[in-house]
């Protein structure tokens, strides 16, 4: 989890997302995930990577799904004893490339409720959380006497919040 913390208008969102000519931490991370050289290494090792993205906003004490087309149903965070905190009905979109992710981020940012915010706290402020859920599967020859292949699955989640 990466949490950008600081006073209003300090540049938290800019540090995380940046602009097209000055990318932030998230675009750099996404470029690393979908790097052509890394992809060649993964293919050579029989690995496939799948990435899903969700993007929510907290504004005036309400959660909103920024990747949902149209109106989203009310979102309420829940806690699960095994997986921890989650948000039921939050949409996840599959990303096949860095371009896919950037299009999702652009769409979500256009949906955000970015109100005018002064240094003295007047106005409306919103916070966002982008979650990347990744799965890497790797096929391997079985070592034991049984023939065939086995698949190992690695899962990871990265959450970025401002």
Give the pairing type, strands 2-3 and 149-161.
parallel
Positive or negative: CA dihedral 98, 99, 104, 107? positive
At residue 33, the 3 state secondary structure works out as helix
d(CA 86, CA 78) in angstroms, rounded, equals 5
* Mean pLDDT of the residues in the chain: 83
Confidence (pLDDT) at 144: 62
On the 0-12 / 13-18 / 19+ scale of CB atoms within 10 A, 95 is buried
| Residue 116 pLDDT > 60 | no
- What average pLDDT score do residues 39-66 get? 87
pLDDT digits (tens, 9 = 90+) for 124-142: 578 889 999 999 888 776 5
**For residue 54, which of 125, 128, 3 has the smallest C-alpha distance?**
128
Phi/psi at 80 (5° precision)? -115, 140
Residue 94 to residue 133: CA distance in whole angstroms: 9
**pLDDT tier at 74 (50, 70, 90 boundaries)?**
confident
Mean pLDDT on 70-99: 89
User: Does the structure show a pLDDT above 80 at 121?
Assistant: no
Contact indicator for 67, 104 with CB cutoff of 8 Å: yes
């Amino acid at each position: 989890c990466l949490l950008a913390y600081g006073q209003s208008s300090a540049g938290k969102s800019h540090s995380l997302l940046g602009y097209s000519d000055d990318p932030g931490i998230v675009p750099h991370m996404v470029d690393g995930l979908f790097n052509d050289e890394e992809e060649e290494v993964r293919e050579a090792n029989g690995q496939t990577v799948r990435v899903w993205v969700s993007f929510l906003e907290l504004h005036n004490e309400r959660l909103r799904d920024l990747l949902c087309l149209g109106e989203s149903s009310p979102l309420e965070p829940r806690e699960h004893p095994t997986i921890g905190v989650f948000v039921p009905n939050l949409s996840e979109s599959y990303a096949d490339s860095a371009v896919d992710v950037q299009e999702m981020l652009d769409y979500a940012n256009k949906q955000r409720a970015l109100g005018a915010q002064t240094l003295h706290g007047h106005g409306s402020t919103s916070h966002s959380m982008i979650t990347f859920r990744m799965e890497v599967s790797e096929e391997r020859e079985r070592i034991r006497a049984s023939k065939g292949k086995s698949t190992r699955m690695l899962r990871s989640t990265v959450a970025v919040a401002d």
